Structure 1
Amino acid sequence: MGMMKEFREFAIKGNVIDLAVGVIIGAAFGKIVDSVVSDLIMPVVGLVFGKLDFSNLFVVLGTVPTGTAMTLDALKKAGVPVLAYGNFITVAVNFFILAFIIFLMIQQINRLKRSHPEPAPAPAVTPEDIVLLREIRDSLKGRTPGA
C-alpha cells in the first residue's frame, strides 16, 4: 500500500502533469510540422528541382520479385530491402523546420523577458559600527590636531 501512495503522490505532482501536457502538445505540433513539410514545402522544393518527389527516392538493395511494381510501397510490401533516403530527407527537413520554429519561439520569449527589466536591488545596509566610525571621523574633521 505504501508504494501505491508514493506513486500517486508522484503522478499528481505538477511537474509530471506539465510534462504530460508538453508531450501531448509536442506530438500535435509534430503532426502540424509534418503536414507543413509534406503538403506545403516539399512540393515547392520538388517543383524547383524538376517535380522531384522526395518520398519516392530509394535504392533497391535486394532482388525484386517478378511482377512487383517499382514503387517504395510495393517493394516494402514484397519484403525487398530498400534504402529510402527520400524519407530521410523529408524527416531531416521536418527536424530543421521544427528546430527553427522553436528557436524563433525562444528568441521571442527572451525578448519579452528583456523588455521588462527587473528592479535594481536595494542598496546594501551599512553595518552600525561603520556608521558610528563615519560619524566620529566627520566630527573630528573640524578640529585641529592636539586641541
Structure 2
Amino acid sequence: MLKEFKDFLMKGNIVDLAVAFVLGVAFGALVNSLVNNLVMPIIAMIIGKPDFSNLTFTINDAVFRYGAFITDLITFVATAAAIFFFVVKPVGAVMARMAKPDEEEVTDEERRHQELLAALRAR
C-alpha cells in the first residue's frame, strides 16, 4: 500500500501540478511587486495618493470603509493591466513569431480557377 501511495505521489501529473503551483505563487509575488512598487506610485503621482483606506462614512455607528474598496479596485485593475501588457501580449507576440505559417487555405472556387488557368497555359 505504501508503494502505491509513493507511485501516486510521484506520477507526472502530481509533480507537474506542484511545480505549477510553486511557479504560480512566485509569479503572483512578482506581479504584486510590480503593481505595488511601480504602478501604484504612478497612480499616486496622478491622483495624489496611492492608498484610500482612510476614507470612510458612518451611519448609526456603522463605519463603511469605501476607501479600502477603492484601493482594492485600483490594485485589481492595475494587476490585470500589468498581467495583460507585460505577460499576455508579449507571450502572444512570441508565440505568433514562433508558429509555423499555415498554408493559405485555397477555396474550391480558387482551385478551379487555378486549374483552368493551368489548362489554358498548357495549350
CA deviation after TM superposition for structure 1 residue 5, in Å: 4.4
Which structure 1 segments of 5+ residues have no match?
Answer: 65-79, 119-147
Work out the CA distance in 2 between the residues paired with 1:46 and 1:53. Answer: 5
CA drift of 1:22 comes to 1.4
Count of residues in Structure 1 that have an aligned counterpart in Structure 2: 99
Deviation by residue 1:33-77 (Cα, 9 ceiling, x = unmatched): 11111111111111112x22235364345637xxxxxxxxxxxxx
Q: Which amino acid aligns with 2:65?
A: V
Give the corresponding residue for 2:38: 40
Residue of structure 2 in register with 1:74 after alignment: none
TM-score normalized by the length of structure 2: 0.60
Give the corresponding residue for 1:101: 86
Determine if contact 2:54/2:65 at 8 Å carries over to the other structure. no
Q: Which has the higher helix share?
A: 2
CA distance in 2: counterparts of 1:100 and 1:10, whole angstroms:
39
Structure index of larger Rg: 1
1:52 match: secondary structure: coil
Give the TM-score normalised by structure 1.
0.52
Cα displacement string for residues 70-110 of structure 1 (whole angstroms, at most 9, x for unaligned residues): xxxxxxxxxx5533211232133113312333313431442
Q: 2:50 aligns with which of 38, 48, 53?
A: 53
Structure 2 gap segments, 5+ residues each: 103-123
Corresponding position: 1:82 with 2:80: no
Is contact 1:59-1:82 (8 Å) kept?
yes
Q: CA deviation at 1:23?
A: 1.2
Pair 1:96–1:10, CA change in 2 (3 A): farther
- Which position in structure 2 is the counterpart of 1:122? none
Letter in 1 for 2:85: F
Q: Tell whether the 8 Å contact from 1:55 to 1:90 is kept in structure 2 after alignment.
A: no
